[in-house]
Amino acid sequence: MKLLVTGGAGFIGSNFIHYIMGKYSDYEIINLDKLTYAGNLENLSTIESGIGKGRYRFIKGDIADTRCIDGILSTDIDAVINFAAESHVDRSIDNARIFLETNVVGTQVLLDAALRHKVGRFVQISTDEVYGSLGPAGLFTESTPIAPNSPYSASKAGADMLVHAYFETFGLPVITTRCSNNYGPYQFPEKLIPLFITNALADKPLPLYGDGLNIRDWIYVEDHCSGIDAVLHRGRPGHVYNIGGNCEKTNTEITRTILDELAKPQTLIHYVKDRPGHDRRYAIDCTRICTELGWSQRYDFATGMKKTIAWYLANKPWWQRIKNGEYLDFYKRWYSDRQ
């Protein structure tokens, strides 16, 4: 099978490429990434020369570039997995336009090209944030109405609706996944868990929004990747599949877990003004993917967090280069080697 993975140099996309290359010895992957601030080719440095040698290729490009997408999909691509997205809520509050350009227009360009080239399967990677905020009880199901509360989640909801429309209007074999909060290796250190791990290691304050009691459902990134794998191969076109970790934690609980694991004092917690439109609670019902596709998670939260913290401890140069703004040097070296 030949896959186009968009946004494959980012956190979840790069983990997915590692997962697929390790599981399927005969699969080929083209990784298309614009290499914006959170795209890092260093995440995949071992793939190109290791298990993916001869089966993996990187192309720098934009999913909103019709000519680029047509050129790739004309090479007999079997499936598109669209991870490419602007994804940070705070950044979407500061500048919503780039979120619309990538997340909505970019998805539309991909869909049109997939239709023209008769791609056999299109998997849209979405988020549970499109559902909005839950009260103190209940779970998001695939039939929960979409009610996004931030520019980021609104852009993802718009993309989801386009994907659905292309199934209903054109019969394009699309499937959407909506996952809860991911954590694990290669996550850009602006997000809560890697930010707090790296700040704690440097004895810097951990900025906790509001009262710290916002609740998220957490899943280790490898479990998310295995869920996408199941959807790619066995999911029903036109359907949505929620992927969750069945692990609700307040942000305060996450913060204290990190500090305890690193033997750092609780005094590093620094409460800051809450961000606008901050959803109170997310929680996923993933019954459909479990019963229909036989998926189950492998890692509980305690195990996943230990693995995550161990990875950041073992890979200090990776995140230090990012925090120092030096990670783009890796791409420059990579590119110059190929000229």
Q: Is residue 30 part of a domain?
A: yes
Q: Is residue 25 part of a domain?
A: yes
Nearest Cα to 69, choosing from 33, 99, 101, 40? 33
Q: Is residue 305 part of a domain?
A: no
Q: Is residue 192 part of a domain?
A: no
Range of the domain at 331: 2-186+220-245+279-299+327-336
Reply yes or no on whether 28 is catalytic: no
Reply yes or no on whether 37 is catalytic: no
3-class SS of residue 163: helix
155 and 124 in contact (C-beta within 8 Å)?
A: no
* % pLDDT > 70, the chain: 96
pLDDT of 332 above 60 = no
Distance (Å, rounded) from C-alpha 214 to C-alpha 81? 30
Q: Is residue 104 part of a domain?
A: yes
pLDDT digits 0-9 by tens, 244-276: 999 999 999 999 999 999 999 999 999 999 988
Note the pLDDT of residue 329.
56
Q: Given pLDDT bands bounded at 50, 70 and 90, which one contains residue 331?
A: very low
pLDDT of 325 above 80 = no
pTM, to two decimals: 0.93
Would you mind telling me the total number of residues written for the chain in this entry? 339
Nearest Cα to 24, choosing from 46, 48, 2, 8? 2
Reply yes or no on whether 209 is catalytic: no
Query: Which residues, 6+ apart, have CB-to-CB distance to 135 below 8 Å?
Result: 280, 281
Backbone angles phi, psi at 193, to 5 degrees: -65, -50
Catalytic, out of 28, 128, 223, 229: 128
Note the pLDDT of residue 38.
79
pLDDT digits 0-9 by tens, 158-179: 999 999 999 999 999 999 999 9
138 and 283 in contact (C-beta within 8 Å)?
A: yes
Mean pLDDT of 104-131: 97
Nearest Cα to 177, choosing from 99, 102, 288? 288
Catalytic, out of 56, 152, 299, 312: 152
Q: Is residue 255 part of a domain?
A: no
Residue pointed to by tokens 């990784």: 31
pLDDT digits 0-9 by tens, 289-301: 999 999 999 999 9
CATH number of the domain residue 93 falls in: 3.40.50.720
Q: Decide: residue 263, CB within 10 A, 0-12 exposed, 13-18 middle, 19+ buried.
A: exposed
pLDDT of 334 above 70 = no
Backbone angles phi, psi at 325, to 5 degrees: 75, 20
State the chain's mean pLDDT as an integer: 93
Catalytic, out of 86, 129, 217, 279: 129
86 and 156 in contact (C-beta within 8 Å)?
A: no
Q: Given pLDDT bands bounded at 50, 70 and 90, which one contains residue 322?
A: confident
Using alpha carbons only, how large is the chain's radius of gyration in Å? 19
Encoded amino acid at 187, one letter? Q
Q: Given pLDDT bands bounded at 50, 70 and 90, which one contains residue 326?
A: low
Q: Is residue 307 part of a domain?
A: no
Distance (Å, rounded) from C-alpha 145 to C-alpha 141? 9
Instruction: State how many domains the chain has.
Output: 1
Q: Is residue 50 part of a domain?
A: yes
